[in-house]
Amino acid sequence: MTSSTTTEQTPSTRRRRLRAPSFSVQIIGSLVLGVLLGWWALSMGTVDDGTPEGGANWLTTTLDTIGSSFVLLLRTLVPPLVFTAIVASITNLRHVADGARLAAKTLMWFAITALVSVAVGIALGVIMRPGQNTTLDIADGSEPSRTGSWLDFLDSLLPANFLGLGANTSTQVAESGSVTASTSLSFNVLQIVVMALAVGIAALKVGRKAEPFLTFNRSALEIIQKILWWVIRLAPLGTLGLIGNAIASYGWDLLAPLGTFAAAIYIGLAIVLLVLYPVLLRINGLRVLSYFRGAWPAIQLAFVSRSSIGTLPLTQRVTERNLGVPSAYASFAVPLGATTKMDGCASIYPAISAIFVAQIFGIDLSVTDYLLIAFVSVIGSAATAGLTGAIVMLTLTLSTLGLPLAGVGLLLAIDPILDMGRTAVNVAGQVLVPVIVAKREGILDEEQYRAATSEDLFADDDEAEAEAVVEDAQAESRTPVTVGAPTVTGAPVPEGTDGDRRS
């Protein structure tokens, strides 16, 4: 008699075959769909709302709401995430040799990459001469309402309150003459970093008495990270709204008068991202493809969201989970980089922009001026840490060189389009430096780095949940049961063992 075996499809097998596309495929699909919806919204034009320029149509409004809501959710989680992660990292650095040396080398690599990036920007500004290839008139310029200052660094370091919160009040006057005031809260990540460092160091000094607080902090961090990844799973939807709104709101018509300038910026960003960073990786014995494969989710989200702070949770995630940087180090280096590591906004952009402004106003720059641009780009990013936008960094550069601040107004029309590329390079650098430092210090999980992929970005969480359920079940099965007899733990206790002893 012959027997044949048949494989029966179980429900779990069918579920595996019908599972959703991978995270990276969802992101790419959302990008494509967002571009299509953005062009559709752009072709619909504006609606008549009584203003000369008109109002946004329903599709543009919908895309804007989806994208801004996603970024808002991410930014809401940044303060508690940064605080709890850095406090935990300070205590965990006890187990990482030479934590102070790690911090010093991180800052050193921040400076090295910034210096090379600004050199690229200066070279492109001199070669492409964007200020002499524009149809803009000097009269179109206007001075910005906020300028950068070297004292901003001290202001950013010293928190006004324990939470690092600030309040901005704005007033609006209606046609009827009524005045309405609104107040919005904002947070300064650098101040939160400073406070978390102080609390973490103090906890180490207190010793055993701080253990309950550190245990609470670790639990809070786990809870925050769990909520965070519920939000991150919405990234494809957020990407659709962000890229769609960007195209619908700005289009590409604004690029015409500043085509050479915009091209110089994006060429500079491409050189830094696709040439400089790969060279640094290869010098340090790291595979370039693994880096981009692992960092891609954060770079992509930075491009569409235009927010290093909003991308911070995902940046830290890919640095740890995809690229193998120890959590104890990454939770310190990544938040610090989000406030002070800006190769796009603080190096490429101000260098080319300063040269553009000088050229359009007919001002010749000397070698000393170029050296000043490099100095401001390397040191100035710390001076503007905690402030929003590359415009503040640009005003600091122009002020230091004595160039007209009115030139800033000439660039504002296309700033959102440029900001997408700038932020993507910022975040790519914020991932790169911890990876390089970890490799040079011998603490990088190189096997995890070589296997880097964005496909299983959430796999560890799913496995952790399953393991937690199993551990809870095992703990329950090991719970002692007392029924007026010797303690029973699931198996008889032989005589003469410790289990038979009585106090």
What CATH number is given to the structural domain containing 228? 1.10.3860.10
Q: Is residue 105 part of a domain?
A: yes
473 pLDDT above the threshold of 50:
yes
397 vs 405: CA distance, rounded Å: 10
CA 251, 254, 256, 261 torsion-angle sign: negative
Q: Is residue 477 part of a domain?
A: no
Q: State both tokens at 293.
A: 């494969």
**Could you tell me if residue 315 is inside a domain?**
yes
Confidence of residue 440 (pLDDT cuts 50, 70, 90): very high
- The three state secondary structure string of 347-414 is HHHHHHHHHHHHHHCCCCCCHHHHHHHHHHHHHHHHHCCCCCCHHHHHHHHHHHHCCCCCHHHHHHHH
Closest CA to 220 of 79, 42, 334: 79
Domain hosting residue 427, numbered range: 21-44+53-141+154-170+179-449
CA distances from 46 to 40, 51, 58, 188 (A): 12, 11, 9, 36
How far apart, in whole angstroms, are the C-alpha atoms of residue 286 and residue 282? 5
Query: What would the pLDDT profile of 170-191 be if each residue is shown by its tens digit?
Result: 555 555 555 565 555 566 777 7
pLDDT in tens, 215-258: 999 899 889 888 887 888 888 888 888 888 878 876 666 666 67
Beta pairing partners, 172: 180
Per-residue model confidence (pLDDT) at position 289? 93
- Which of 12-16, 448-452, 457-461 has the lowest average pLDDT? 12-16
For residue 235, what pLDDT is reported?
Answer: 82
Please give the DSSP secondary-structure letter assigned to residue 276. I
| Model pLDDT, residue 501 | 38
- Domain count across the chain: 1
Q: Who's near 254: CB < 8 A, 6+ residues apart?
A: 413, 414, 417
Q: Decide if 3 is inside a domain.
A: no
Does residue 405 belong to any structural domain of this protein?
A: yes
Q: Which helix (H) or strand (E) holds 172?
A: strand 165-173
Look at residue 385 in the predicted model and tell me its pLDDT. Answer: 58
Is the residue at 430 inside a domain?
A: yes
Structural domain contains residue 420: yes
Give this prediction's pTM: 0.75
> Each residue of 352-383: pLDDT tens digit?
999 988 888 888 888 998 998 888 888 877 66
**Residue 75: inside a domain:** yes
Across 5-9, 44-48, 444-448, 473-477, least confident range: 5-9
